[in-house]
Amino acid sequence: MRRIPLLFLLAALTAINVIPQSGRRITQPASPPPTAPIQPPLNPQPEVRSAPRPLTALMTLPESLRERPIKAIGADNFRLADFEGKVLVINLWASWCGPCRREIPEYERVRKEFAGKDVVFIGLTTEDPRYEGERVQRFLRDVSFGFRLGWADNEMARTLTNGRRSIPQTLVVNPEGRIISHWDGYAVGWSGKRLTQAIEQALTRE
């Protein structure tokens, strides 16, 4: 009678030991490998953009530009056409431009040399009068600029500079409206001489 409980105990211990070994192992499913980001092609096709149409070299003042009203600085508005039959010196400048500040005294000496001659000196700033009016006025209080002064709007500035928009630029136009000389930048001791030569050429050109 005592063997029955002992046999029962042995059987129970065996069952407990066997069940974990015979059961199915539960494993975590493997995570998928990370997806590599999509790389751009090694030689992508460049984006096609239409470049702005370049302006051709300005040889004469077009009628539309001559008749375009110019907002004056401290005087009456005017047009380039108001000075028909005279040599025009057109200087494009800006109050933030250091070379412009250094150029003005040389140009002023040239202007005084041709006083009483058929030469009109015009200085046009490429700045916006809506935002730069006070700055321009401060600039003009610091320098002696005897040119007829005005504001060049975007269309006039773009046409006169051939789209280059570098400052300063100077044009000399003969009485027939042909541009005798056009240059940009300022050269110490040379820009004034160059202006004098261009004016003399414009006055004697047939």
Question: Could you please report the per-residue DSSP string of 60-83?
Answer: B--HHHHTS-BEESSS--B-GGGG
- In whole angstroms, give the CA distance from residue 191 to residue 195: 6
Q: Which residue has the higher pLDDT, 179 or 33?
A: 179
Reading the block at residue 170, the tokens are 């100077």
- In whole angstroms, give the CA distance from residue 84 to residue 28: 94
Specify the residue for token string 């997806």: 35
Q: Computed over its alpha carbons, how large is the radius of gyration of the chain?
A: 41
Task: Give tens-digit pLDDT for 4-17.
Answer: 455 455 555 554 44
- Helices 98-113 and 191-204: crossing angle in degrees, nearest 10, is 40
Q: Which pLDDT band holds residue 19 (cuts at 50, 70, 90)?
A: very low
Task: Give tens-digit pLDDT for 37-49.
Answer: 444 444 444 443 4
Residues 59-87 as b/e (b if ≥16 CB within 10 A, e otherwise) read: eebeeebbebebeebeeeebebeebeebb
pLDDT of residue 51: 41
For residue 151, give the 3-state DSSP assignment. strand
- In whole angstroms, give the CA distance from residue 80 to residue 94: 20
pTM: 0.72
Task: Give tens-digit pLDDT for 61-118.
Answer: 999 999 999 999 988 999 999 999 999 999 999 999 999 999 999 999 999 999 999 9
- Domains of the chain, by residue range, sit at 73-204
Tell me what the pLDDT averaged over the chain comes to. 81
- In whole angstroms, give the CA distance from residue 120 to residue 86: 7
pLDDT of residue 39: 45
pLDDT at 174 > cutoff 90:
yes
CATH 3.20.20.100 at 73-204, yes or no:
no
- Cβ atoms of 203 and 118 within 8 Å: the answer is yes
